[in-house]
Structure 1
Amino acid sequence: MLKLLARFGRPYLGHILAVIALQLLTVGAILFLPALNAQIIDDGIAAGDTGVIWSLGGIMLAVAFAQLASAIASVWFAARSAMSIGRDLRAAIFRRVSRFSSYQMSQFGPATLITRATNDVQQLQMVTLMSLSMLVMAPIMAAGGVVMALREDAGLSWLVWVAVPIIVVIMVGAGLKMMPLFRQMQEAIDDVNHTLREQITGMRVVRAFVRQDYETQRFTKANQHLTDLAVGVGKIFVLLFPLISLVLHIATAAVLWFGGMRVADGLVEVGSLTAFMQYLLQILMAVMMATMIFLMIPRAMVAA
Structure 2
Amino acid sequence: MLVTLMRRYSKPYLPYIAAVVIFQLASTIAALYLPSLNAQIIDEGVSRGDTDYIWRTGGVMLGVSLIQVATAIAGVYFGSKAAMAFGRDLRRGVFRKVSSFSARDVNLFGAPTLITRGTNDVQQVQMLMLMALNFMVATPIMCIGGIFMALREDLNLSWLVWVSVPLLVVVVGYLVVRLMPLFRSMQEKIDRLNGVLREQIIGIRVVRAFVREPHEAERFGAANKELTDVSLKIGSLFVLMFPAIGMILHVSTAAVLWFGGQRVDAGEMQVGSLTAFLQYLLQILMAVMMGTFMAMMIPRASVCAD
What TM-score comes out, normalization by structure 2 length? 0.99
d(CA) in 2 for partners of 1:134, 1:186 = 24
Map 1:223-234 onto structure 2 (within 5 A): 223-234=224-235
2:8 aligned partner, one-letter code: R
Match of 1:142 in 2: 143
d(CA) in 2 for partners of 1:235, 1:12 = 39
Match of 1:4 in 2: 5
Match of 1:243 in 2: 244
Match of 2:276 in 1: 275
Q: CA deviation at 1:3?
A: 1.1
Match of 1:70 in 2: 71
**Residue deviations 1:160-182 (CA, integer Å, cap 9, x gap):** 00000110001110111101100
Q: CA deviation at 1:234?
A: 1.1
d(CA) in 2 for partners of 1:56, 1:181 = 50
Does the residue aligned with 2:165 lie in a helix, a strand or coil? helix
1:193 aligned partner, one-letter code: N
Map 1:104-143 onto structure 2 (within 5 A): 104-143=105-144
Q: CA deviation at 1:140?
A: 0.3
d(CA) in 1 for partners of 2:81, 2:232 = 32
Q: CA deviation at 1:89?
A: 0.7
d(CA) in 2 for partners of 1:171, 1:70 = 30
Q: CA deviation at 1:238?
A: 1.1
Q: CA deviation at 1:231?
A: 1.4
1:262 aligned partner, one-letter code: R
Match of 1:153 in 2: 154
1:179 lines up with 2:189 in the alignment: no
| Number of residue-to-residue matches in the alignment | 304
2:138 aligned partner, one-letter code: M
d(CA) in 2 for partners of 1:81, 1:227 = 34
1:283 aligned partner, one-letter code: I
**Residue deviations 1:217-268 (CA, integer Å, cap 9, x gap):** 1101101111111111111111101100100000000000000010011111
d(CA) in 2 for partners of 1:34, 1:46 = 17
Does the residue aligned with 1:155 lie in a helix, a strand or coil? coil
1:284 aligned partner, one-letter code: L
Map 1:150-299 onto structure 2 (within 5 A): 150-299=151-300
2:186 aligned partner, one-letter code: M
**Residue deviations 1:108-163 (CA, integer Å, cap 9, x gap):** 00000000001110110111111111111000000000000000000100000000
Match of 1:45 in 2: 46
d(CA) in 1 for partners of 2:114, 2:70 = 41
d(CA) in 2 for partners of 1:103, 1:153 = 69
d(CA) in 2 for partners of 1:283, 1:121 = 32
1:239 aligned partner, one-letter code: L
2:43 aligned partner, one-letter code: D
1:82 aligned partner, one-letter code: A
d(CA) in 2 for partners of 1:270, 1:47 = 13
1:251 aligned partner, one-letter code: S
1:32 aligned partner, one-letter code: Y
What TM-score comes out, normalization by structure 1 length? 0.99
Match of 2:85 in 1: 84
Q: CA deviation at 1:199?
A: 0.2
Match of 1:98 in 2: 99
Computed over aligned residues only, the root mean square deviation of the Cα atoms, in angstroms, reads: 0.6
**Residue deviations 1:186-218 (CA, integer Å, cap 9, x gap):** 100000110000000000000000111110111
d(CA) in 2 for partners of 1:302, 1:213 = 33
Q: CA deviation at 1:40?
A: 0.2
Unaligned 5+ residue runs, structure 1?
none
Q: CA deviation at 1:98?
A: 0.6
Q: CA deviation at 1:59?
A: 0.7
1:25 lines up with 2:13 in the alignment: no
Determine what percentage of the aligned residue pairs are the same residue: 57
Single out whichever of 32-41 and 234-243 deviates more from structure 2: 234-243
d(CA) in 2 for partners of 1:101, 1:205 = 26
d(CA) in 1 for partners of 2:33, 2:232 = 41
